[in-house]
Amino acid sequence: MMNPEAYSNPQRQSIAGILLIFISSIYKLFRSFWAVGAYLLVSGPSRTTLIYIGLALLLIGFLAFIYSYLYYRKFIFYIDYKREEFVLEKGIFSTENTAIPFDKIQQVYFKRSILQRIIKVYSLVIETAGSNLKEVEIKAVSEEDANKLSKILLKAKAEKTEETSLEEESEKTEENKEVFWTHKVGFLTLLKIGISTNYLRGLSLVFAFVMTIYNRVNTYFKDQVEDVEVYFDQFSGVLQSIGFLAILFVLLLLLSISITIIEVFIKYYGLTIQQNKDKMEVEMGLKTNTKISLQPRRLQLMRIKTNPVQKRLNLYEAQISLSSSENELQKNKIKIPGLGKEIVEKIKYFLYPESSKSSFSTTFRPDKLLLFRKISLATLPVVIFLAFWYFLDFINLKLGAILSISSLYIIAALILQILSFRARKLIFTEEFLQKKTGFWNKTDETLELFKIQSISVKQPIWYRRKNLVNVVFHTAGGDLKFYAVNTGIIQYVNYVLYKAEVSSKHWM
């Protein structure tokens, strides 16, 4: 039987770990300096240089060995049974002390590289929730230790989370297989998505086309040819080249559209959504068939996207962020395009059953300062362009043309920025937070208040007098940011915190 208090004393890695650290640090050094070494060898060094290089290498090897030994000595781990934590300390110059409570352990597993296979050790990886940066890896553990440790940790984890897992099991037995509704995205819809999503690429092509023609005609007229004969000759030449350009343009446009359509088909072919009592299943993909089951509990953030063209075609795209759960392979963000309005409503109702009722609803809009900043950013390209035109003369354009182009651009940018500024708002209700942005590409983000991980309130010094702040709501599925909003929002920040702190519901 296993000693119940095993590993409660500070442990070191397997002694072979020194070798592992040594080889990997040498390898790292080699990777960053091999170019220098190659250069030295190629440059035909003299005998004495070679000796010096050899000595330096020896010294480096020796230092690396000392480093490996010290690193090994300072790398300590143990299990603190009293506090129910796994503790790891490491680092020679700077020490890092990490403690993982048993119930935060998501998974414990081994891995082995070739080197580890040769020296007969294992990597023991302890994963916690959240990003994989927070996982702990012990790189050299003997097989026996690895087995024992993972057993103890998994057992401790199971004991700590027994209650919740029991709950889940009972949920599972109750699970109703009855399908409530199914939604299939057909061939035609996929075609529509393909055509309507990447019109921007098409637009930029049109723009490039117009610009090249303009340049051609311009250079032609600039060359003011006297001879009438040559004039006509050249003119037809210009016409011809414009014809070629037009054909090329149409071909490119067709190509770009068909590429998008093919992409859409590969990604979303056979898209099916099926809802039963407590989960929703999404299946899609031609080459790699992805199947995802959505539970409302795992949901962190939902985005609904559309633009006027797609709205007319009744196409909405849902983007759903899930918490990175025990399965690392599972994608965190799922895009489901080609949904009709009624389907979006159904999904929303399933994921957020209580979203309709709320005793209050407060809307915040950003301050004009944000508009000012966005406009100045948008006009920056014009300034750069004008500077180029003025100081360098590789852009052959007349003053009039320059002025009309830049003023057109500025007016367009102004209108665009004002419209999207007006569309920007943040709505607080009793249980939800909703952010709406975009006047053309409309995005609608919804976050259930208690699902936040933390909140940051930022105030640059020039916001202070205007009483403005930037607020960022951090979730396990990405951040929700809202800039340049009046400090009145802080009351609601407190409310969101209250909601998270008072809730005993699982956020994942």
Partner 1 sequence: MDPVAKDFNNEQIDLAFLPKYEQVAFSSVSSKYLIKMNIQTGIFMLVLTIALGVFWFFQLNNMQSGIIFGFVLVAFIFRFWNNYKLLQSLGYAVREKDIIYKRGFIFNKTTVIPFNRVQHASISRGIWDKLLGISSLNIFTAGGGASDISIPGLEPEMAVQLKEAIAVKISHDES
> Could you list the residues that contact partner 1 (CB under 8 A)?
83-85, 93-101, 103-104, 128-131, 133-134, 160, 163-164, 323-324, 353, 359, 452-461, 472, 474-476, 478-479, 490-495, 497-498, 500-501, 503-504, 506-508
Q: Which is nearer to partner 1, 129 or 252 (CB)?
A: 129
String of DSSP letters for 242-311: HHHHHHHHHHHHHHHHHHHHHHHHHHHTT-EEEEESS-EEEEE-SSS-EEEEE-GGGEEEEEEEE-HHHH
Q: Which is nearer to partner 1, 8 or 240 (CB)?
A: 8
Distance CA 133, CA 329 (A): 15
Which tokens hold the place of 187? 């061939």
To partner 1, the closest distance from the beta carbon of 370 in angstroms equals 16
To partner 1, the closest distance from the beta carbon of 353 in angstroms equals 7
Q: Which is nearer to partner 1, 195 or 455 (CB)?
A: 455
Asked whether 140 and 125 are in contact (CB, 8 A), the reply is: no
Q: Which is nearer to partner 1, 201 or 297 (CB)?
A: 297
Contacts of 291 (CB under 8 A, 6+ apart): 281, 282, 283
Q: Which is nearer to partner 1, 127 or 317 (CB)?
A: 127
Q: Which is nearer to partner 1, 226 or 501 (CB)?
A: 501
Number of other CB atoms surrounding residue 422 within 10 Å: 11
To partner 1, the closest distance from the beta carbon of 13 in angstroms equals 19
Distance CA 280, CA 274 (A): 6
The DSSP 8-state label assigned to residue 11 in this structure reads: B
Q: Which is nearer to partner 1, 322 or 347 (CB)?
A: 322
To partner 1, the closest distance from the beta carbon of 205 in angstroms equals 37
The strand pair at 299-306 and 442-448 is best described as: antiparallel
To partner 1, the closest distance from the beta carbon of 85 in angstroms equals 7
Return contacts of 490-499, CB within 8 angstroms, 24+ apart.
Answer: 490/457, 492/362, 492/364, 492/428, 493/455, 493/457, 495/428, 495/449, 496/428, 496/433, 496/449, 496/452, 496/455, 497/455, 499/431, 499/449, 499/450
Q: Which is nearer to partner 1, 219 or 503 (CB)?
A: 503
To partner 1, the closest distance from the beta carbon of 464 in angstroms equals 8
To partner 1, the closest distance from the beta carbon of 425 in angstroms equals 19
Asked whether 470 and 483 are in contact (CB, 8 A), the reply is: yes
To partner 1, the closest distance from the beta carbon of 488 in angstroms equals 10
